[in-house]
Structure 1
């Protein structure tokens, strides 16, 4: 599957299946690994509630408080990026999975390597999703 990284640190991977199927599969991966899912936001559905149309778009907010808490204790503004978020969206019939790279989050908040290490889980989790 295809992976791109934009200059601003957004990783985008291509996944097989519809947005709904991929979002459901990702939630299953997270739950299977004991990762806390804080929120699932169907942004297309929210748009419909106000009479607007939006491509299928689902934001999943998740994390591990044991890994995230020390990061936010060291760099309080990291709370703007944590918990981690994955956007699953329809790109003209192709399902994409996008998120901020761990390196961009670490750089933005000046994290020491030992604190930033836990952020790399997002790569592993999304790799499992696109290979699934």
Structure 2
């Protein structure tokens, strides 16, 4: 796992679609709302362009997100939470998301509010664990 410019990226042992499928399954069990799943490779193909497998998942908990937006309305630029699964040129699949500490600094959030978005790392860890889910 590495962090760069406020983005945390970690390897996935699964393909891009399976990675996102597994994350969706974890989110559904936790009762977290999935707002959208965007297959950016498919969208590129629609306009005749080529892109390695890339999918973006938007999700969150409106109760937790609303308290963040009440405290700092511009955080809505980064909410709902997003996870990007993407295949690099070398065939490795990565999962990337905003570092909650970066968002804390960017929006001057208190520790209590950061807890509302810090759940992202454990959710991804659970989705990428080797335990068979599907």
Relative to the length of structure 1, the TM-score reads: 0.95
Structure 1 position 19 matched with structure 2 position 16? yes
Instruction: Report the Cα distance in structure 2 between the residues aligned to 1:26 and 1:131, rounded to whole angstroms.
Output: 11
C-alpha distance in 2 between matches for 1:114 and 1:93: 39
Inter-partner Cα distance in structure 2 for 1:31 and 1:13: 22
Residues 58-99 of structure 1 show CA distances to partners (whole Å, capped at 9, x for unaligned) of 000000111110000110000001110000000121110000
In 2, Cα distance between the equivalents of 1:74 and 1:67?
A: 11
**2:63 aligned with 1:66:** yes
Number of matched residues? 129
Higher helix share: 1
Which of the residues 33, 41, 44 maps onto 1:44? 41
Whether the aligned pair in 2 keeps the contact of 1:13 and 1:130 (CA below 8 Å) is: no
Q: What is the Cα-based RMSD across aligned positions, in Å? A: 0.8
From 79, 82, 89, the equivalent of 1:85 is: 82
1:118 counterpart SS class: coil
CA–CA distance in structure 2, aligned partners of residues 65 and 125 of structure 1: 17
Structure 1 runs of 4+ with >3 Å offset: none
- d(CA) in 2 for partners of 1:112 and 1:21? 35
Contact between 2:75 and 2:107, CA under 8 Å: does it hold in 1? yes
Unaligned runs of 5+ in 1: none
Q: Which residue of 2 is the match for residue 111 of structure 1?
A: 109
Counterpart Cα distance in 1 of 2:41 and 2:108: 34
Q: TM-score, normalised by structure 2?
A: 0.93
Partner of 2:58, secondary structure, is strand
Structure 2: runs of 5 or more not aligned = none
SS of corresponding position for 2:114: helix
